[in-house]
A and B are shown apart, each in its own frame.
Chain A
Amino acid sequence: MTRHLPPQSEFREAYDRLSRPHSGSFDLSRRQFLAGSIAAGGLASVPGWIPDAASAGVPLGVDDTILVAVMLGGGADYLDTVVPFGQAAYSAYRGNMAIPGSEVTAVAEGKYLNSRLGRMADRFRAGQVAIVEGVGEATDDHSHFTAMASRLAGKSSGAPNSGWLGRWVDQTSLDALGAVAIGDRGIPLHLQGASVGATALPTVGDLYGGDRSLRWERDTIDALVALGGDTIGAGPYGDLANQTSGNALALAAQIEPLYAGATSAGLVRDMEIAADLINLDLGCRVLSVAQDGYDTHANQGPVLAGLYTELDLAIETFFSRLTPFLKPRVTVLLFTEFGRRAERNGSAGTDHGTASFMALIGNRVKGGFHGQAPSLTSLDSRRDLQHTVDYRAVYSSVVDQWLGGSSASVIGQTYPGLDLFRQAGPGGFYDVESHQFFGPAVGWLATTGITSGTAPGQFSPGEFVTREQMAVFLWNLKGKQSAPSFGFTDVPTNGWSTPAIDWLARTGITQGTSIGKFSPGQVLNRAQMATFLWRMEGEQSAPPSNFKDVPRGSFFYKAVSWLVASGVTSGWTVDTFAPDRPIDRAQMATFLWRLQGEPAV
């Protein structure tokens, strides 16, 4: 009698089993409610299309980072992702399945990505993608369930009853919106914690409370939301039940528009919802999204091409939707439960293997390859790629270097750290490095409080300076003196830059761009900047400069001459100043720094 061993539980089942359908315990301790939230500015940061309901989330702190974990479910093949193009063993193992040169794109010396990940390759070249190769674990047993339970649980022992991100949330004071799973399969194991819980956001809306267009519906919703603010005092859970209900209905009005804004389908739609949710700034720090279908036992080439085309578009769509303010604080993590066998099978596919990859994408990752590519010429006894990095080492780095917290307590053990994220450069900016020509200048600018960057941790050196920004920089530089309102018609009476523009006009540094107008959003050019600085420093005379594009008699001639004489600039080229070129933030920082005599920080 032969015993029939069970078939491998396939990916979907494994994932479903590891998901808790739409539930979770819920800690209200930090959740501000109704008036409290409005008073605290909870509504100030949400877009204008949010209806008049209360905000139920708590905005992020300026140092709070965000992780979007995208699961490539089913076991994504490492070899057809980071393709060992040109290696004899690859062609030998994959035969006519091997990806040809026309379908790979080189991203580094001897390194190729599947060309369906073309936009990701561009990001890689821009230093925004960290690919960890050889990710696996010692106990991989080829079972979707075991491997996924392990990848989601992210701990080295015990039953998979909580997930690594859930345990991380447990250590924070986040509420149930701190961790959000997007998708109709509930809260996956990696978001499940012991105490705080997570929110499962269905991919389809129609949430009760979301449609406030009819008066009778609105009256009923309002009554229940208002009830949620009362104390009923029944049993240990009465008030929690009450607040949870009121919060959920209030939140529905905020969440529901996300569904109208998501116009795509599948993973792209899920990532649209993820981006829009992050933009709402309701305190989401960990999001989970999944893409299925990587269990390519058959027909791997076309299947993977379709999946990667979708993934590539989804990631691009996601980043393009993020508000600039939050974008630098978002990292996307791609992971999968295992890689696939080196050798192809008989149905143009590959069977379950072990080592694979993980990828981190975002402005602050340390771009490039990490870990060590598993060798195709020294497979293990089961003819699998040998892993070189324990997947928990990646998680540890994400916790320690990105999310903030203790990997030792989240993962339960310490793993050799990977260096996956960049350190902040001068001024606490991640996009400025001390060896760059503007590094010391930006560091000084930040230390003196003249700039706080375009977003937390971001200086945006390549962005052009607007006239309004320049006004603020100069005003900050000169000690934020107050001045009577000047009354430019295109400057709001209480805008963030108004006091600076008023001061600029009152001190004669600017007369505006035309009568009554300052053109605050207009990009400043080098001629205007020279003029601003010259007037600010008292219109001192200087020996004439000799740039062929700075004619005598132009309004900026004396200013440019003074600028050169005082050593702030030596021109664009030997004989040109490029007066019409816009000035970027790196140059502006440098000019101001030199003007002050290159002070050390």
Chain B
Amino acid sequence: MPQSSVVTSADAAHFLRRAGFGGSQSEISGLVGLTRLQAVDQVTNFAGSPPVVRPFTSAESWWIAHQKAHGWWIDRMATTSTPLQEKLTLFWHSHFAVGIKKVGRMDVVWDHVQMLRSGAMGSFQSLCQQSSVSPAMLVYLDNESNVVGDEQENFAREIMELHTVGVGNFSEADVVAMARAWTGYNTLRTHFSTHDIAYYYDAASHDNGPKTLMGKTQNWSGPLAIDELCFGAGRQATARRITWKLWRFLVHTNPNSATIDQIAAEFAASNLDIETLVRAVLLHDDFWAGTARHALVKGPVEFLVDVIRRFDLRVDHAGNGDNGRWLGSNDVFYLMGFTGQLLFEPPNVDGWGVGSTWLSTATMWARARALSSIRWRVNQLNLFGHPDSPSGLRNMTPAAGVQRIFDQMGIDDPSAATRSRLEQWFSTLQVNNSWAIHPNAVMVGGLCPEFQLT
């Protein structure tokens, strides 16, 4: 029975990379010997989730608030006891994408993401309903200006194309009908443009006429239309699309069609219960198979969180810490700006991509820039041991030193090529500039290909 298979150390490392942001040696040891089912039970239990405390005030400008919220979330991802919750929140943030630059109010974007966090393992239909009337979404996809007689199709299109059934499962006529169904679900702004955006249903602006949506003619409301997409005509397509997308996020980018069909059927039968879906993915044999190992590219956020965890660093979001183990949230924000993944600011309505999306010249420059900044902190804190101690990294043999770097970075399966190159590098520096081994271990450990993968 696969679910009763016993988790090995390599299994645990893989599992913790995907169901979170990578495991420490003790976290890995903690799972070894459990069954897969027990391991999955453990990571899907969010009971111990630390409290969420908003790190900014409404008085702060949105860009300062954005920096703080960004730092707070990175820090939470790195330190939480329930990393799967954050990983899924990141997934839903990309799926029900909203961005601060268009919305202009960090508090409503924050509330949107917090809603996604609370519902990350709940009902998909409920998440979709809540997202659709979230003030951030109403602004981001312009439904706040969707009124009868002057319909705005932006949200109507995206809720079908991106949030639920996907391309090929709706017609242009459905977009028109959906836009009409969503008329009147607007916002109330008590001050001009930037203040206090609230959801407001303006009955007078709603189109109460009959509309034909997915073949059914009735007086569709917005929520009824979502029910149709989740539980009615759209159920199978939605289930399959979400399953496929989550698989590509958690497992690998080339899913087996039969596997997706099988899990999607379970998901559909559960009335789109996300916990059912997540458990089915994590318990699937394909998830544990060799083909899934190191088969994904870490996104920039996963990359940074992993680096931070590997060295026990923290991100300060109160605005007063940039020393010792604490990185300033403004610095982290600056560095992440180059990588292509700023939290609360997805690139477009389709969120962030996966896989090769994250492999470009510019993103590698950005990763190197981030590591180059962090290496001096690592050096200062002697995180590779004191340079004068016999156990300090630079005093080891090249073989032992490189293994030490792999262990520190959580690289459990390095290629022979990488090992050999790094040993050559280690020897070279040992001869000429042995002091430089400590800071630059961060560069070679963080830029080697193994560390880009998850």
Question: Which A positions have Cβ atoms within 8 angstroms of B?
Answer: 1, 3-7, 9, 13, 16-26, 56, 145, 159-161, 176-177, 184, 186-187, 189, 197-202, 206-209, 215-217, 219-220, 223-224, 226-227, 230-242, 244-245, 247-249, 251-252
Chain A residues near B348 (CB, 8 Å)?
Answer: 17-18, 20, 160-161, 189
Chain B residues near A9 (CB, 8 Å)?
Answer: 102
The stretch from B70-78, B223-231, B265-273, B429-437 touching chain A is B429-437
Residue of A nearest to B425 (CB): A223
Measured CB to CB, the closest approach of chain B to A27, in angstroms, equals 9
User: Do A5 and B340 touch (CB < 8 A)?
Assistant: no
Chain B residues near A244 (CB, 8 Å)?
Answer: 359-361, 364
User: Do B361 and A248 touch (CB < 8 A)?
Assistant: yes
**Contact of B359 (CB < 8 Å), options: A25, A145, A187, A219:** A25
Known: A22-B363, A161-B349, A236-B254; 7 extra A-B contacts, CB below 8 A, are A23-B360, A202-B362, A209-B365, A219-B425, A227-B421, A234-B413, A242-B448
Assembled-state Cα–Cα distance A236/B356 (Å): 9
Assembled-state Cα–Cα distance A257/B386 (Å): 36
Chain A residues near B357 (CB, 8 Å)?
Answer: 23-25
Assembled-state Cα–Cα distance A288/B142 (Å): 28
Assembled-state Cα–Cα distance A199/B338 (Å): 12
* Residues B153-168 near A (CB distance < 8 A): 157-158, 161
User: Do A177 and B450 touch (CB < 8 A)?
Assistant: no
Measured CB to CB, the closest approach of chain B to A279, in angstroms, equals 19
User: Do B358 and A7 touch (CB < 8 A)?
Assistant: no
**Contact of A223 (CB < 8 Å), options: B144, B338, B413, B421:** B421
For A9, A22, A184, A231, which residue has the most chain B Cβ atoms within 10 angstroms? A22
**Contact of A232 (CB < 8 Å), options: B104, B356, B417, B444:** B417
Residue of A nearest to B102 (CB): A17
Assembled-state Cα–Cα distance A245/B161 (Å): 34
Measured CB to CB, the closest approach of chain A to B361, in angstroms, equals 5
Chain B residues near A159 (CB, 8 Å)?
Answer: 157-158, 161, 349-350
**Contact of A234 (CB < 8 Å), options: B157, B193, B415:** B415
User: Do B188 and A249 touch (CB < 8 A)?
Assistant: no
Q: Check: B49 CB closer than 8 A to any chain A CB.
A: no
Measured CB to CB, the closest approach of chain A to B138, in angstroms, equals 9
User: Do B360 and A26 touch (CB < 8 A)?
Assistant: yes
List, sorted by A's number, 26 A–B pairs whose CB atoms are closer than 8 Å: A1-B202, A3-B188, A6-B145, A7-B193, A13-B104, A25-B360, A26-B356, A161-B348, A207-B369, A208-B365, A208-B372, A216-B440, A224-B444, A226-B421, A227-B418, A230-B417, A230-B421, A232-B415, A235-B252, A236-B253, A236-B355, A237-B296, A237-B297, A248-B365, A248-B368, A251-B361
Assembled-state Cα–Cα distance A239/B448 (Å): 11
User: Do A21 and B368 touch (CB < 8 A)?
Assistant: no
Chain A residues near B147 (CB, 8 Å)?
Answer: 3
User: Do B353 and A25 touch (CB < 8 A)?
Assistant: yes
User: Do A245 and B447 touch (CB < 8 A)?
Assistant: yes
Assembled-state Cα–Cα distance A219/B453 (Å): 24
Assembled-state Cα–Cα distance A251/B367 (Å): 15
Chain A residues near B444 (CB, 8 Å)?
Answer: 220, 223-224
User: Do A199 and B449 touch (CB < 8 A)?
Assistant: no
Residue of B nearest to A7 (CB): B193
Q: Check: B37 CB closer than 8 A to any chain A CB.
A: no
Chain A residues near B367 (CB, 8 Å)?
Answer: 245
User: Do B361 and A177 touch (CB < 8 A)?
Assistant: yes
Measured CB to CB, the closest approach of chain B to A475, in angstroms, equals 44
**Contact of B425 (CB < 8 Å), options: A177, A220, A236:** A220
User: Do A227 and B440 touch (CB < 8 A)?
Assistant: no
Measured CB to CB, the closest approach of chain A to B65, in angstroms, equals 16
User: Do A21 and B337 touch (CB < 8 A)?
Assistant: yes
User: Do B297 and A20 touch (CB < 8 A)?
Assistant: no
Measured CB to CB, the closest approach of chain A to B434, in angstroms, equals 9
Q: Check: B342 CB closer than 8 A to any chain A CB.
A: yes
A216 touching B449 in the complex, CB below 8 Å, given contacts A199-B362, A207-B365:
no
Q: Check: B295 CB closer than 8 A to any chain A CB.
A: yes
Assembled-state Cα–Cα distance A23/B339 (Å): 7
User: Do A176 and B368 touch (CB < 8 A)?
Assistant: no
Question: Which B positions have Cβ atoms within 8 angstroms of A?
Answer: 99, 101-102, 104, 139, 142, 144-145, 147, 157-158, 161, 186-189, 192-193, 200, 202, 205, 252-254, 293-297, 337-342, 345, 347-350, 353, 355-369, 371-372, 413, 415, 417-418, 421-422, 424-425, 428-429, 432-433, 436, 440, 443-444, 447-450, 452-453
Assembled-state Cα–Cα distance A159/B155 (Å): 11
Chain A residues near B158 (CB, 8 Å)?
Answer: 159
Residue of B nearest to A177 (CB): B361
Measured CB to CB, the closest approach of chain A to B155, in angstroms, equals 12
Residue of A nearest to B345 (CB): A21
Chain A residues near B424 (CB, 8 Å)?
Answer: 223
User: Do B102 and A21 touch (CB < 8 A)?
Assistant: no
Chain B residues near A233 (CB, 8 Å)?
Answer: 415
**Contact of B294 (CB < 8 Å), options: A21, A161, A235, A240:** A235
User: Do A13 and B101 touch (CB < 8 A)?
Assistant: yes
Chain A residues near B186 (CB, 8 Å)?
Answer: 3
User: Do B297 and A227 touch (CB < 8 A)?
Assistant: no
The 8 closest A-B pairs by CB, nearest first: A23-B340, A208-B368, A216-B436, A223-B425, A248-B364, A232-B415, A216-B433, A242-B449
User: Do B362 and A238 touch (CB < 8 A)?
Assistant: no
Assembled-state Cα–Cα distance A220/B432 (Å): 12
Chain A residues near B358 (CB, 8 Å)?
Answer: 23
User: Do B192 and A22 touch (CB < 8 A)?
Assistant: no
User: Do B453 and A241 touch (CB < 8 A)?
Assistant: yes
A227 touching B448 in the complex, CB below 8 Å, given contacts A26-B356, A235-B453, A244-B359:
yes
Assembled-state Cα–Cα distance A209/B252 (Å): 31
A241 touching B361 in the complex, CB below 8 Å, given contacts A13-B101, A216-B429, A230-B421:
no
Chain B residues near A215 (CB, 8 Å)?
Answer: 432-433
Chain B residues near A22 (CB, 8 Å)?
Answer: 337-340, 360, 362-363, 366
User: Do A199 and B361 touch (CB < 8 A)?
Assistant: yes
A219 touching B432 in the complex, CB below 8 Å, given contacts A227-B448, A248-B361:
yes
For B147, B367, B440, which residue has the most chain A Cβ atoms within 10 angstroms? B440
Chain B residues near A21 (CB, 8 Å)?
Answer: 337-342, 345, 347
User: Do B338 and A247 touch (CB < 8 A)?
Assistant: no
Assembled-state Cα–Cα distance A198/B340 (Å): 12
Assembled-state Cα–Cα distance A1/B295 (Å): 55
User: Do B448 and A237 touch (CB < 8 A)?
Assistant: no
Assembled-state Cα–Cα distance A119/B99 (Å): 41
Assembled-state Cα–Cα distance A247/B363 (Å): 12
Assembled-state Cα–Cα distance A248/B361 (Å): 5
Residue of A nearest to B295 (CB): A235
Chain A residues near B448 (CB, 8 Å)?
Answer: 224, 227, 242, 245
For B186, B345, B362, B425, which residue has the most chain A Cβ atoms within 10 angstroms? B362
Chain A residues near B443 (CB, 8 Å)?
Answer: 208, 220, 224
For B101, B205, B371, B424, which residue has the most chain A Cβ atoms within 10 angstroms? B101
Chain A residues near B447 (CB, 8 Å)?
Answer: 224, 245, 249
Chain B residues near A249 (CB, 8 Å)?
Answer: 364, 368, 447
Assembled-state Cα–Cα distance A477/B365 (Å): 52
Residue of A nearest to B99 (CB): A17
Assembled-state Cα–Cα distance A184/B104 (Å): 20
User: Do B339 and A227 touch (CB < 8 A)?
Assistant: no
**Contact of B356 (CB < 8 Å), options: A5, A198, A217, A237:** A237
Assembled-state Cα–Cα distance A235/B297 (Å): 10
Measured CB to CB, the closest approach of chain A to B171, in angstroms, equals 13
Assembled-state Cα–Cα distance A206/B369 (Å): 8
Assembled-state Cα–Cα distance A577/B340 (Å): 67
Chain A residues near B252 (CB, 8 Å)?
Answer: 235-236
For A1, A6, A56, A177, which residue has the most chain B Cβ atoms within 10 angstroms? A6
Measured CB to CB, the closest approach of chain B to A147, in angstroms, equals 14
Residue of A nearest to B340 (CB): A23
Chain B residues near A230 (CB, 8 Å)?
Answer: 415, 417-418, 421
